[in-house]
């Protein structure tokens, strides 16, 4: 046995790909030339991820417009004035809102997974967006003839179909990106919104049986974009007990950038349920400095004081580029950090005798 280690998902796109996307949007590049640019980026990403020694990789989200909005690509019944997510450096990402029902995904995650599986030599994980994030697309003023309840039921069905498609296509596992968990406590300190988020995501997980459960996971973080976060000031103590109430097995938890990791590890140790695994963040994608394998090892040995070894794994705090146009973290740096995680995880496993 060794210590499982997995990335969260995204890798900064190559500049050639960003340039191709830009030219395609201006009508200067054909659809087939753009498809070639996506393929080249995916192939290079997989080759370089495999070179890090990662036992499990992702497609680096090279062809997702963003971790959150990929199901909406091409959807016409959208208005641009949805929920605003304020980041700590002052910039804002605004979600769209639906303008009519019924709500149906235009793109499912298996369309990203299948080409990656064809190219990869190691298992490939797949990230999907959460039902709770999609639930934010219902306009605050409501929609005539399409209630919030009808919409939520459609969301649960579509997220279930998204996960099922990737599981059936051969994903090593599927990770639900739940970056709005901590944000929920910022928007609603009473915890009511967080409870609603947990409930709708568990409604999705309830559609999967015990045979699927080991392949279901959740990622939490304070939301990284352009080297800033939206909810790192929200106390983990409010989120983690609810988080482990999600009926999933694998939890990918931002930790490297926490100011008091011992406290957070203690809360994880108290709340993790039997059969669940905590992949703790040992790499900070926002920090331009590359962590040494020795630092990674130290972080894991500390975590092992709080979390049983059979329930421990490692990850990065977040994806390296959740939005396609975010090139603030260089591509080379991302691969170097992932290599440090893999090496440091092996060092810790050896020291722990696993």
Interacting stretch for Zn ion, rule CB under 5 A, among 26-34, 272-280, 294-302, 310-318? Answer: 310-318
Nearer to Zn ion, 152 or 329 (CB): 329
Contacts of Zn ion in 155-214 (CB under 5 A):
179
* Residues in contact with 79: Cβ distance below 8 Å, sequence separation at least 6, in sequence order: 96, 97, 98, 99, 139
Q: Pick the closest to residue 18 from 348, 258, 323, 257 (CA basis).
A: 323
Q: Pull the structure tokens for residue 234.
A: 């929200």
Closest distance to Zn ion from the beta carbon of 299 (Å):
18
Closest distance to Zn ion from the beta carbon of 35 (Å):
28
Cα(57)–Cα(60) distance, integer angstroms: 8
Closest distance to Zn ion from the beta carbon of 317 (Å):
7
Interacting stretch for Zn ion, rule CB under 5 A, among 29-37, 264-272, 311-319, 341-349? Answer: 311-319
Computed on alpha carbons and rounded to an integer, the radius of gyration of the chain in Å comes to 19
Q: How many C-beta atoms lie closer than 10 Å to residue 141's C-beta?
A: 6
Nearer to Zn ion, 136 or 221 (CB): 221
Do residues 254 and 178 make contact, with C-beta atoms less than 8 angstroms apart? no
Closest distance to Zn ion from the beta carbon of 101 (Å):
29
Interacting stretch for Zn ion, rule CB under 5 A, among 17-25, 199-207, 216-224, 336-344? Answer: 216-224
Do residues 128 and 9 make contact, with C-beta atoms less than 8 angstroms apart? no
* Residues in contact with 141: Cβ distance below 8 Å, sequence separation at least 6, in sequence order: none
Closest distance to Zn ion from the beta carbon of 30 (Å):
34
Cis peptide bond upstream of 102, omega within 30: yes
Considering only 83, 156, 229, 318, the residue that binds Zn ion (CB under 5 A) is 318
Closest distance to Zn ion from the beta carbon of 314 (Å):
15
Nearer to Zn ion, 166 or 220 (CB): 220
Q: Is residue 229 part of the contact set for Zn ion (CB under 5 A)?
A: no
Do residues 309 and 352 make contact, with C-beta atoms less than 8 angstroms apart? yes
Q: Is residue 221 part of the contact set for Zn ion (CB under 5 A)?
A: yes
Interacting stretch for Zn ion, rule CB under 5 A, among 103-111, 205-213, 258-266, 314-322? Answer: 314-322
Nearer to Zn ion, 207 or 228 (CB): 228
Interacting stretch for Zn ion, rule CB under 5 A, among 195-203, 240-248, 276-284, 312-320? Answer: 312-320
Q: Pull the structure tokens for residue 68.
A: 């959150």
Cα(74)–Cα(77) distance, integer angstroms: 9
Could you give the 3-state DSSP secondary structure of residue 205? helix
Closest distance to Zn ion from the beta carbon of 313 (Å):
16
User: Pairing between strand 216-220 and 250-253?
Assistant: parallel
Contacts of Zn ion in 67-126 (CB under 5 A):
none
Q: Pull the structure tokens for residue 149.
A: 């309840």
Q: Is residue 133 part of the contact set for Zn ion (CB under 5 A)?
A: no
Closest distance to Zn ion from the beta carbon of 207 (Å):
24
Residue 120 φ/ψ, nearest 5 degrees: -85, 155
Contacts to Zn ion by CB under 5 A: 179, 221, 318
């Amino acid at each position: 046995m060794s210590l499982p280690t997995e990335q969260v998902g995204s890798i900064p796109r190559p500049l050639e790909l960003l340039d191709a996307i830009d030219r395609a949007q201006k009508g200067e590049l054909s659809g087939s030339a753009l498809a070639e640019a996506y393929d080249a980026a995916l192939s290079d990403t997989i080759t370089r991820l495999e070179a890090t020694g990662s036992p499990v990789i992702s497609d680096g989200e090279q062809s997702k417009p963003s971790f959150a909005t990929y199901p909406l690509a091409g959807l016409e019944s959208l208005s641009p004035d949805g929920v605003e997510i304020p980041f700590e450096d002052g910039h804002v990402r605004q979600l769209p809102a639906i303008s009519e029902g019924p709500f149906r995904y235009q793109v499912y995650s298996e369309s990203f997974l299948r080409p990656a599986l064809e190219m990869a030599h190691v298992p490939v994980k797949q990230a999907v967006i959460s039902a709770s994030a999609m639930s934010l697309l219902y306009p605050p003023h409501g929609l005539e003839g399409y209630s919030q309840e009808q919409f939520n039921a459609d969301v649960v069905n579509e997220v279930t179909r998204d996960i099922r498609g990737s599981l059936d296509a051969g994903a090593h596992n599927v990770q639900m990106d739940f970056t709005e968990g901590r944000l929920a406590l910022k928007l609603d300190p009473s915890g009511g919104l967080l409870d609603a988020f947990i409930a709708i995501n568990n409604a999705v997980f309830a559609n999967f049986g015990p045979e699927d459960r080991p392949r279901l996971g959740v990622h939490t973080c304070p939301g990284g974009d352009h080297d800033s976060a939206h909810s790192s000031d929200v106390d983990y103590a409010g989120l983690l007990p609810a988080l482990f109430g999600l009926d999933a097995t694998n939890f990918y938890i931002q930790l490297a950038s926490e100011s008091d990791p011992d406290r957070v590890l203690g809360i994880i140790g108290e709340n993790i349920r039997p059969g669940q695994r905590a992949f703790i963040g040992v790499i900070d994608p926002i920090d331009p400095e590359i962590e040494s394998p020795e630092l990674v090892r130290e972080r894991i040995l500390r975590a092992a004081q709080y979390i049983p070894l059979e329930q421990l794994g490692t990850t990065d705090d977040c994806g390296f580029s959740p939005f396609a146009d975010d090139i603030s973290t260089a591509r080379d740096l991302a691969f170097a950090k992932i290599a440090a995680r893999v090496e440091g995880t092996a060092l810790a496993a050896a020291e722990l005798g696993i």
